[in-house]
Structures are given as structure tokens and as C-alpha cells.
């Protein structure tokens, strides 16, 4: 069985026929699946950016489970292993894959990105090399959190942050918070985080933000808010992660970041933005794009195992896998409010 997106605002638990097991595949019983903002977007609008749901699709891509069957060529996993799944299958033939930038592969097959089925199901079949064995002290829920955490880790690598980098994070939603946690694990000394929501800012403070700043959604406030952000940091802002991706957040990021610094665009709130690039270019502020992640699961698991990152406080709501609970879970996630990460326990 699986949770199928069958129409606008309509999810149904229905049978899910599995593909046959290839020699390099494993069959995994799903145990923990998180809800991502993109999942909610598909439910509410039947599209996310340029990806459009045209036929019923199984939803979900943040996941971990237990191996139930292995293909004949699989050597590094056995039945009973607990694994976190990397949800994107690239072609490994194109130039981008050969360069190691497989996250940009044009043939990428990614869980719950139309027309590829996702992982909110009792079982899935997946390539063994995209299944990462969980250390004993890492739970299945934490394994599922490797997916959103990977976005933060990849963003930190793209921006080349470290112990001499002061960081601003725009947005204290799930991705903003994991980016903050990743930046701290990379050694960043001071992180200021900005949001419109008091509750999310208080969570950010509890998780170790150096400073928090509440902002508005009005573009007219950018100037005064940049002053407030810079004052809160008390020193230069070397790198800003925009984890929301709106005209306002990007305009603030470009203005707040020091000359010669970097702005990393992680969130994709607006498909098309109008932002003051020319003044930023005149100060040689680099704009860096981030799309998903690559080669991040081993480092995420190292951070979780060592205790450098604790994702458990981000999991605020848990649901089982019945028709009503699936509907309630997505409504809880869509409402936002005090919900950060909503997790299914299957």
C-alpha cells in the first residue's frame, strides 16, 4: 500500500505494485517518512516549479527503512539492515554525472517528482548504492532526516563556510534550521537567523542561533531590517543562505552580505524574482545556486553519529499510516504554525 496523490487536495491509500528486484537493487520496508514542503505543494497545487502532476503519483521522499530483500549482486547490505535512502537516481552517463554533479542530471528520477513515484509506502525497491546503513546510535527517524539535512550540508559546501565565516540564514523553516545546524557543524562561529514567525525564531534560538531577527514581508522595510540584522551580527556577514527564496528575502540577503561575500539561494519560493542585482554586483557579492545535494549521506550520518548535529528537536509531529492519519499529517504540515517536521511511523 502507498499514499497516492490522486487529485487536488486528495490523497488515497491504495495498493502499490512494486517493480521487480534488479541484481543491484534492494527491497526496503519503509519505517519513517517525513513530509517536505514540496510534498505539500504538490497536494495543494498539483505542481512544484516546472514539475506538474498529470497522473496519480505516490508521494514522499524523506525516508528510512529496513532491508527485506537484496539483489544477487548486492554485497554491502543484508536483510535486516536499517538504511536511509537517497531519493534521486541519476543516469551516470551524462557529462554532469561524470563530473560528479549528478544532482543536476537531466535524466534524474527522484522520488515523488512527477512522473516518478515516491516512498510514502509500505515497501519500495531502490538501488542498493543509494541506501546507506544507519549506525547503531542513529534512529530510523534520524535516518529519514538525512534528506532535508543533505540540503543544508550541500549548501554549506557550495558556500565554502567554515570557522572564519559568519552566516546569515533567511527563513527559520525546516530547511533554514537544518542549514543552520549544518553550518554550525562546519565550524561557523556566528549564525543569525531571520523569519516572520516568532515561534520558529524561538526554535532557532533554542537550537543555537547566535541571534534572531523578526522581519516583515514588506519590501519597504529592507533597509531598516538590514541595519538591524548587521547590528545583531556585530561583525561582517560573509555568507547568507536564502532558505525562503522570495523577492524580499533575496533583496535583504544581497544588501546584508559584506562586499566580496556570498549569497546562496536555497529556497525557491518565487519562480521568478526581481531583485537589486546591480548594487550587489558592484560590491562583488557572489550569488550561488543550490539544487538538492550530492554525496552528502555519509557526512550527514557522521554528523548524527558524533552528535555534532541533533535533528530530533525538529521532529514536532508524528502520525501512523492510515487514511485519516495521512490526511491529518498533511494538514498539520500545511498549517505550519508550530509544526516543523511532520513524520510518519509506518
H or E, element range at 194: strand 190-195
pLDDT at 337 over 80: no
Identify the pLDDT of residue 268. 86
Identify the pLDDT of residue 286. 97
Identify the pLDDT of residue 338. 86
Identify the pLDDT of residue 217. 93
Q: How far apart are CA 114 and CA 125, in angstroms?
A: 17
Identify the pLDDT of residue 270. 84
Identify the pLDDT of residue 335. 87
> What's the average model confidence in pLDDT over 141-170?
98
Identify the pLDDT of residue 114. 94
Identify the pLDDT of residue 269. 84
Domains and their CATH numbers in the chain: 2-133+311-345 (3.90.180.10), 153-289 (3.40.50.720)
Give me 133's grid cell: 546503513
**Cα-to-chain-centroid distance, residue 59:** 15
> What's the average model confidence in pLDDT over 174-191?
97
pLDDT at 211 over 80: yes
Give me 307's grid cell: 552528535
Q: How far apart are CA 87 and CA 251, in angstroms?
A: 32
Q: Cβ distance 38 to 111 under 8 Å?
A: no
Supply the pTM of this predicted model: 0.95
Pairing, β 190-195 against β 47-48: unpaired
Give per-residue pLDDT as tens, 55-78.
999 999 999 999 999 999 999 999
Compute the half-sphere exposure of residue 226: CA atoms within 13 Å on the CB side of its CA.
Answer: 19
User: Of 239-248, 272-281, 312-321, 322-331, where does mean pLDDT reach its minimum?
Assistant: 272-281
State the residue for C-alpha cell 536499517.
82
> What's the average model confidence in pLDDT over 311-331?
96
> What's the average model confidence in pLDDT over 283-302?
97
pLDDT at 343 over 90: yes
Q: Which of 223, 228, 227, 277 is nearest to 254 (CA)?
A: 277
> What's the average model confidence in pLDDT over 330-334?
94
Number of H helices, E strands in the chain: 10, 20
Q: How far apart are CA 8 and CA 53, in angstroms?
A: 10
Q: Cβ distance 145 to 341 under 8 Å?
A: yes
Give per-residue pLDDT as tens, 18-34.
999 999 999 999 999 99
For the chain, what percent of residues have pLDDT higher than 90? 95
Amino acid at each position: 500500500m502507498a499514499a497516492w496523490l490522486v487529485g487536488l487536495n486528495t490523497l488515497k491509500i491504495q495498493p502499490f505494485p512494486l517493480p521487480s528486484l534488479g541484481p543491484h537493487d534492494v527491497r526496503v520496508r519503509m519505517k519513517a517518512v517525513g513530509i517536505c514542503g514540496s510534498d505539500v505543494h504538490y497536494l495543494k497545487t498539483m505542481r512544484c516549479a516546472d514539475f506538474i502532476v498529470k497522473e496519480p503519483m505516490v508521494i514522499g521522499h524523506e525516508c528510512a527503512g529496513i532491508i527485506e530483500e537484496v539483489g544477487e549482486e548486492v554485497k554491502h547490505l543484508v536483510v535486516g539492515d536499517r538504511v536511509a535512502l537517497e531519493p534521486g537516481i541519476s543516469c551516470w552517463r551524462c557529462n554532469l554525472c561524470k563530473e560528479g554533479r549528478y544532482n543536476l542530471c537531466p535524466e534524474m528520477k527522484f522520488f515523488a517528482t512527477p512522473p516518478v513515484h515516491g516512498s510514502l509506502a509500505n515497501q519500495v525497491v531502490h538501488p542498493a548504492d543509494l541506501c546507506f546503513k544507519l549506525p547503531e546510535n542513529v534512529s530510523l527517524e534520524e535516518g529519514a532526516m538525512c534528506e532535508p539535512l543533505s540540503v543544508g550540508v550541500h549548501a554549506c559546501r557550495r558556500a565554502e563556510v567554515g570557522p572564519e565565516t559568519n552566516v546569515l540564514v533567511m527563513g527559520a523553516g525546516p530547511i533554514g534550521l537544518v542549514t543552520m545546524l549544518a553550518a554550525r557543524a562546519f565550524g561557523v562561529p556566528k549564525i543569525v537567523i531571520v523569519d516572520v514567525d516568532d515561534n520558529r525564531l524561538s526554535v532557532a534560538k533554542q537550537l543555537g542561533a547566535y541571534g534572531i531577527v523578526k522581519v516583515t514581508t514588506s519590501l519597504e522595510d529592507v533597509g531598516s531590517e538590514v541595519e538591524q540584522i548587521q547590528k545583531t551580527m556585530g561583525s561582517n556577514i560573509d555568507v547568507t543562505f536564502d532558505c525562503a527564496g522570495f523577492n524580499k528575502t533575496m533583496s535583504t540577503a544581497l544588501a546584508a552580505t559584506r562586499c566580496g561575500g556570498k549569497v546562496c539561494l536555497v529556497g525557491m519560493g518565487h519562480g521568478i524574482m526581481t531583485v537589486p542585482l546591480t548594487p550587489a554586483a558592484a560590491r562583488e557579492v557572489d550569488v550561488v545556486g543550490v539544487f538538492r545535494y550530492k554525496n552528502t549521506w555519509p557526512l550527514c550520518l557522521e554528523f548524527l553519529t558524533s552528535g555534532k548535529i541533533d535533528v530530533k528537536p525538529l521532529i514536532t509531529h508524528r502520525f501512523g499510516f492510515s487514511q485519516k492519519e495521512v490526511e491529518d499529517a498533511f494538514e498539520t504540515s500545511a498549517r505550519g504554525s508550530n509544526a516543523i517536521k511532520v513524520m510518519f511511523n509506518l
